[in-house]
C-alpha cells in the first residue's frame, strides 16, 4: 500500500515474548529530525544512536523491581531496531539491530496474563487536525492479574500510576539516545496519507507532549483476530427441531 509521510524520520522498534514464548509483543516509536538536516548529517546521527542503551532503557521496565509492575521470566525483551524511514515509507538505508534476551525477574508463581497488553497513550497536547494521538502496547505486568478492584473491575490506581512513571522514564531515556548532536530528534506522532486515508488531505506529524495510561485492560482487536481457536474436540448439540 502506498504511504506518504511529511518528512523522513527515525523509527525505533523493540519487543520480545510473553506467556513463555506463546505470544510476541512489539512497540514502535517515531522520531522527527532527520528530515530537517542534510542526508549526510542525518546518517551520522543515525549511526551514532546507541541501541544497547535503548535496550537498557526498555529492560529497566521489564526487569523493574517496583511492586505491582513486575514481570516474570515468561516475559522477555529480545531486540531493539532502528530504521531511517523515507517519506514513501521505505528504508533509506539498512536498518540497525541489537539483540539480547532479557527476562523479567519476578518469581514465576504469578499468573501470566495471556492475550493482554497495556495501552500507553501518547498525546500531542492538541485536538485540532491530525497526528494528535498515538499508542504503544506494552505487555501487561503479571501482578496486574490480581490487582483488580472488585467493585470496578479496573486495575488499582496506584499500580497504574507507578507503571506510568516507569514508561515515562523509558520514553525520556529512549529520546535521549535517539536525539544526537547531528539530529536533535523529538518523539512524534505521524499521520501519513494512504489510499485509505479518510479526511487526510496531507500527511503531518506533531511532537508528543503527554503520556497517559488507563485502568481498563482489554485485548487488542488485531490480537484477537489472529488467535487460533485451538479446538481439539467438538461436542454435538442436542437442540431439537
Question: Per residue in 134-181, pLDDT tens?
Answer: 999 999 998 888 888 888 888 899 999 999 999 999 999 999 999 988
pLDDT of residue 241: 61
d(CA 84, CA 11): 6
Task: Report how far residue 241's alpha carbon sits from residue 229's, in angstroms, rounded to the nearest whole number.
Answer: 28
pLDDT band at 15, cuts 50/70/90? very high
114 falls in which pLDDT band (50, 70, 90)? confident
Mean pLDDT of the chain, nearest integer:
88
Task: Give the other-Cβ count within 10 Å of 181's Cβ.
Answer: 9
> Would you tell me how many other CB atoms lie within 10 Å of the CB of residue 193?
17
Higher-scoring residue by pLDDT: 148, 94? 94
Helix and strand numbers, DSSP H then E, in the chain: 4, 9
**Dist. CA 4–CA 194, nearest whole Å:** 7
CB of 125 closer than 8 Å to CB of 228:
no
Instruction: Dig out the grid coordinates for 40 from the structure.
Output: 549526510
Amino acid at each position: 500500500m502506498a504511504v506518504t509521510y511529511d518528512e523522513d524520520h527515525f523509527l525505533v522498534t523493540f519487543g520480545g515474548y510473553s506467556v513463555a514464548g506463546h505470544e510476541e509483543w512489539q512497540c514502535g516509536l517515531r522520531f522527527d529530525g532527520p528530515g530537517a538536516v542534510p542526508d549526510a548529517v542525518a546518517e551520522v546521527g543515525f549511526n551514532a544512536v546507541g541501541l544497547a542503551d535503548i535496550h537498557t532503557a526498555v529492560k529497566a521496565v521489564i526487569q523493574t523491581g517496583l511492586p505491582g509492575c513486575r514481570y516474570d521470566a515468561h516475559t522477555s525483551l529480545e531486540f531493539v531496531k532502528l530504521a531511517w524511514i523515507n517519506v514513501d515509507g521505505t528504508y533509506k538505508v539498512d536498518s540497525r539491530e541489537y539483540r539480547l534476551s532479557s527476562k523479567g525477574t519476578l518469581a514465576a508463581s504469578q499468573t501470566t496474563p495471556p492475550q493482554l497488553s497495556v495501552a500507553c497513550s501518547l498525546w500531542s497536547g492538541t485536538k485540532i487536525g491530525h497526528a494528535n494521538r498515538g499508542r504503544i502496547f506494552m505487555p501487561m505486568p503479571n501482578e496486574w492479574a490480581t490487582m483488580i478492584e472488585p467493585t470496578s473491575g479496573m486495575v488499582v490506581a496506584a499500580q497504574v500510576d507507578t507503571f506510568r512513571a516507569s514508561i515515562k522514564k523509558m520514553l525520556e531515556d529512549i529520546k535521549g539516545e535517539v536525539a544526537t548532536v547531528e539530529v536533535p530528534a523529538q518523539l512524534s506522532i505521524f499521520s501519513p496519507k494512504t489510499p485509505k486515508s479518510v479526511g487526510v488531505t496531507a500527511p503531518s506529524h506533531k511532537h508528543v507532549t503527554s503520556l497517559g495510561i488507563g485502568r481498563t485492560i482489554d485485548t487488542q482487536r488485531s490480537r484477537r483476530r489472529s488467535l487460533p481457536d485451538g479446538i481439539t474436540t467438538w461436542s454435538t448439540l442436542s437442540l431439537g427441531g
